[in-house]
Amino acid sequence: MTTLPVACCQVYPLEGEPETGYSLSVSLGTPPQEFRVLLDSGSSNFAVAAVNFSSINNYPYFNSDLSESFRDIDIDVGVRYVEGEWSGRVGKDNFSFSIGDTHSTTVYISLMEVISDGFFKTSNGWVGILGMGYAKLAKPDSSVLPVMDSLVANGVTDDKFGLQLCGPETRPDGTLLDKGGRMSLGSGTPLLPSNSDTFIYAAITEKSFYKIILTNIKVGSEALDLPCSVFNDKFSIIDSGTTELSFNKGTFSAIIAKLKKSNRSSKLDIPDSFWSGESALGWKRGSVEEFTSFNNLEIALQVPDSQEVELSIVIPPQLYLKKVSSKSINIEKGDYCATTNCSWYKLGIKQNPIESVSGAVLGMMLFKGYTVEFDRGRGRVGFAPSACDINGLENPSEVLKIAIIPRTQTDNCQYTTDSFGFFQILICIMVVIVLIAMLVLITIGSGCLIKKYFFTPSIVSSTNARDLESMLLRTSSSDSEGPTESDDDLLN
């Protein structure tokens, strides 16, 4: 293992686009084996294919038998994501971000040996996942340190990283050209555009996912008529592994209602299937007028150490409309775009696909316009306008706005939890005891039997007493359980 003094601001190129994710090249083992892994801030395991799965047989995978430095530590592991899951075992080996990179260290690796159907369906060359979340999310437990934690512990980098994720361009044939992006270690500063010299920060409220708190949401100039606590139930996160901006049912419905209202004067004929994400809109390639039919979305986030102000981020339609390939669109005869070169867009705002995750997830529709710094050590996430060219946005500096403003909702916006407190648990136990006592009395029946049972000491056998005690203990234990890890598993 080779370690160097803390290295600031190493920058690595990324390949990909919002729909399929962004990947980077890493090397593992001795001698090093190089392959691509998907970058994901919503999980923490570094997982690589250890089998030549048929879905990725054109790409290299990690063969631990060929590495002199690999060490199997005999721990089973598995992770479930919103779509797909894998299982395997944990090992350790030497890691760097590319062959020839001298900043290498020993890290934990999760070897994917079994995967669910379609797990690699969006792979454009990546054969693993590099989880950049906190250790609390790691499976099977936090002792399996994420790569970022290992790099920090070994003095390779400071505990922060930056992401610049660019959206695609449309080729003349209607397909999309991936523009990729960049990741920096130690600081997000190298990713800042020339006209910006700093990040503005929101608070990370819990070091597991990158949990944040939404304090307000506006469509145009109109705020949603909802208390801010609704936005964050059960929690809200920022996640590079999610494509869209997703919200719970109540928040999503309120956003769509206001977008529809503002669109009524538009020349665009927008069907309901577009708002539900089922269909796409097409218009002449290069035209920007149609974007004016959609209002800006503006979100506000809680900032560190203040309840008086909030961080406002403007998300114009050029960001939340998701460009898709014309090859994926069924164009009917007679349609305007049947005879015209069109650009196609789907709505990049959706309702959360799983009920157990009912807060907001700020995904890559936000990253397209803003460079993001994850300052893990100080518990904050920073935003700055992106240096990426943004399709349809002629004057980005006039539209992409980040500002600290007075807080508009003074309510407690903290997310809710499903866990019970001590007094709720105590009440539940007392209710169960009363119900069991009533059942016993009903079973005993008549007054004479009651008398017999109460005044004959040997009538209740020790076995029955133990059964009753066991029942009470099981009930108490069941009622006192907090939330399981299933919510975290599903979101990863």
pLDDT in tens, 270-325: 889 999 998 898 888 878 888 888 999 999 999 998 989 999 999 999 999 998 87
Check residues 267 and 459 and name the one with the higher pLDDT.
267
Is residue 90 predicted with pLDDT exceeding 50? yes
Burial of 58 (0-12, 13-18, 19+ CB in 10 A): exposed
Q: Nearest CA to 314 among 301, 302, 299?
A: 299
Helix (H/G/I), strand (E/B), else coil: 23? strand
Neighbours of 57 (CB within 10 A): 8
Least confident of 13-22, 117-126, 475-484: 475-484
Determine the Cα–Cα distance for residues 176 and 417; give it in Å rounded to an integer. 42
Radius of gyration of the CA atoms of the chain, in A:
27
pLDDT of residue 467: 43
Is residue 486 predicted with pLDDT exceeding 70? no
Q: Are 132 and 41 a contacting pair, CB within 8 Å? A: yes
Residue whose pair of structure tokens reads 């994720």 in the numeric block:
165
**Tokens (6 digits) for 238:** 């920022």
Q: Are 183 and 162 a contacting pair, CB within 8 Å? A: yes
Q: Are 103 and 10 a contacting pair, CB within 8 Å? A: yes
Question: pTM for the whole thing?
Answer: 0.81
Residues with Cβ within 8 Å of 267's Cβ and at least 6 positions away in sequence, in order, are 293
Does the CA dihedral 40-45-46-48 come out positive or negative? Answer: negative
Determine the Cα–Cα distance for residues 151 and 221; give it in Å rounded to an integer. 44
Check residues 82 and 236 and name the one with the higher pLDDT.
236
Q: 411-434 pLDDT, tens per residue?
A: 788 865 544 444 445 565 777 787
Helix (H/G/I), strand (E/B), else coil: 34? strand
Q: 6-53 pLDDT, tens per residue?
A: 456 789 999 988 888 899 999 999 999 999 999 999 999 999 999 999
Quote the strand ranges of 361-435, DSSP E. 361-362, 370-375, 380-385, 402-406
pLDDT of residue 415: 62
Q: Which domains does the chain have, with CATH numbers?
A: 10-157 (2.40.70.10), 164-406 (2.40.70.10), 422-491 (no CATH)
Determine the Cα–Cα distance for residues 406 and 308; give it in Å rounded to an integer. 6
Q: Supply angle C-alpha 41, 247, 309, rounded to 5.
A: 80
pLDDT of residue 339: 67
pLDDT of residue 136: 96
Q: What percent of the chain clears pLDDT 90, i.e. is strictly above it?
A: 53
pLDDT of residue 18: 85
Helix axis angle for 447-455 and 422-444, nearest 10°, is 110
Determine the Cα–Cα distance for residues 171 and 391; give it in Å rounded to an integer. 12
